[in-house]
Structure 1
Amino acid sequence: MPAHPLRLYVDAQFTSPYAMSVFVTLREKGLAFDTLTLDLDAAHNQATDYAQLSLTQRVPTLVEGDFALAESSAICEYLDEVYPQTAVYPKDPKQRARARQVQAWLRSDLLPIRQERSTLVVFYGQKMPPLSSAAEAAAGKLIAAAQALLAGEPDYLFGEWSIADVDLAVMLNRLILNGDSVPAELVAYARRQWQRPSVQAWVNLQRPAL
């Protein structure tokens, strides 16, 4: 167990897919932690005390004693190294590298999907207008990559569940939960990840009205 209490800073609406990724990691590892919320619309993440804590002034930020770490992938990797009893990344180095590749790609690419299918679709049930041609192209790229990764329709990307499965499911659900066209096997995959107790714990958090 942690030598110091763990604190996780997340957005007040619980819609950040990156905060969700760390929250799920902590739950999967059975680590006790306090969840603290920041109103990003009110720029609470830019307040002096938080800016001194979080180098990037973003959520999530994990605090453990006098150690603070921002950026979700960095946090998940840190937690997997320091609390290895329950792994959230594949044990095989090549598979682990591929999981990190998937995470890095989902965070840095597919911007039109993230712009036109915000996670308000996923966590608040909002419906958005049809995709632009740029977002249609990004959706095609996402679907093609997901189908290649999940050829043969395995339950998980890399044999056993990893945190990359959650990140991919969130991106797919931006489309699925808006009613956009997604192949049935990818819908089934995303639904399977969504049923995981650690994921449901995030999905079922009490969110403020918009």
Structure 2
Amino acid sequence: MTSFSIQTFGCRVNQAEAFWWTDVLQKKGLKFEKDLLQSDLVVINSCTLTSRADSDTRRFIKRMSRLNPTAKLIVTGCYAERTPEELKRMPQVWQVFSNAEKKAITGEIISLARPKAVESTLAFRSRALVKVQDGCDFRCTFCIIPSVRGQSVSTGKREILSRVRELAARGFKEIVLTGIHLSCYGFDLKPRSSLLELLREITSIEELSR
């Protein structure tokens, strides 16, 4: 069985994406490996908010190349969006995905591993993370995020509620909603919605305690 690990840098949105990838890949039969040094494949979800964040990603890639030289490395996230060619030149980096290509990552891994589907456990989490919004429409002079995440995009309520109900049915009692600019949730939807409306519908799901 192909094993995988995920190293997340930066914001809670990156954590939510890692949560979703883990769920999808486990359902497809891949083994989640907590020990990065024992993993066949490592997905690195990067941050580029500061130069320190960029440096952390580069150091991690070099460390993995030294300590787990057989692992394939996939790099995505905001650093990968900003300077993909720089990352492609680094040793052991197998593929680089932009933020817009993130949904293709699990399919690429599954096509490589060809695993058999099983039930996902997500046993290493006590709460579930769900990304409901991405991007930002504001252009603050000090912030690079809008240029690497794009404009604000909200996930449709039907998709979110379906995901929350699924997680609740699997025993999760706490759901953490994430976004780059959560207060803008729903402004781009038709009909227009809001974070408050979404929260009201989520809290009506009986299986959730909070």
Structure showing the higher helix proportion among its residues: 1
TM-score, normalization: structure 1? Answer: 0.36
Structure showing the higher strand proportion among its residues: 2
